A and B are shown apart, each in its own frame.
Chain A
Amino acid sequence: MIPLHWYLWLSAVVFMVGVAGFLMRRNIIIMFMSIELMLNAVNISLVSFSRYLDDMRGQILVFFIIAVAAAEAAIGLGIIIALFRNKVTAHVDEANEMKG
């Protein structure tokens, strides 16, 4: 059997990459994807704990995390759309003012 430590190392690496992406990138969409990476890292460690502890509860939490991640993505992208609408409308208003 593969040692549990291997999975935990992998999870830590993916989490680190997610944190790095979150802190280093300025593109909101990519920052958001970095958060998804962090959540996936958590899921990897939870599933492997669940396997090595012979306990299903870790997998249940993963199930909930995936559901919540979907909800968070939906609302997050909603806010991003609103952000862009606002910027676009702001440009349109400026154009109208110029015509005076």
Chain B
Amino acid sequence: MLAEGIFIYLAAAITILSVLVITRKNPVHSVITMLVLFFHIAALYVTLNAEFLAAVQVIVYAGAILVLFLFVILLLNLKEEAVARRYVGPWPLGLMAAVGLFLAIIVSLDSFVAGPKGAFTTEVIKAETNTKALGKILFTEYLYPFEVVSIVLLVAIIGAIVLAKKRLRS
């Protein structure tokens, strides 16, 4: 009962906060709302026995990515100016597209049957802790992608510097 109660609170909070994120006029308000949202998602991960990801969610998403957003907003002091062309004409059309997609996913949920079970039952994870179980797979089976992700970060560093650097006037 307690578990259900916690889930319902988290789900309600996540839904409301995510709607708030996309409806705020001022991007700074959106970022702050998103910060609260990310903490709730981290709590949701804890209810799913994913403590390590909960920590990563707070540290990377809330700590790094959102701070980056805030920095850029402050740096550029942009509120209304940062506009791009909308991809789907008027906004009600966009809303309809999103709701249509949602209905497609929800309808297909009816036919959902979970795939075959793996070896990491709650007991196994409890015995060796979530982080250790994750680390074991990450550093054996997924070692190469783990290394390759460092290249994604390298690309991002170089790309961001190349693009945001001040122009040299010769």
Contact = CB atoms under 8 A, between A and B. Distances in A.
- The answer to whether any beta carbons of A and B sit under 8 Å apart in the complex is yes
Contact of A2 (B47, B69, B98, B163): B47
A95 interface: no
Given A10-B11, A81-B163, A63 B53 contact: yes
Contact of B50 (A21, A47, A85): A47
A7 to B, nearest CB: 7
Nearest to A72: B156
B138 A53 contact: no
Contacts, number: 240
Nearest to B106: A12
B117 A36 contact: no
A10 B47 CA distance: 14
Contacts of A81: 72, 75-76, 163-164
Interface string A26-43: 111111111011001001
B98 A1 contact: no
A62 B160 contact: no
B89 to A, nearest CB: 10
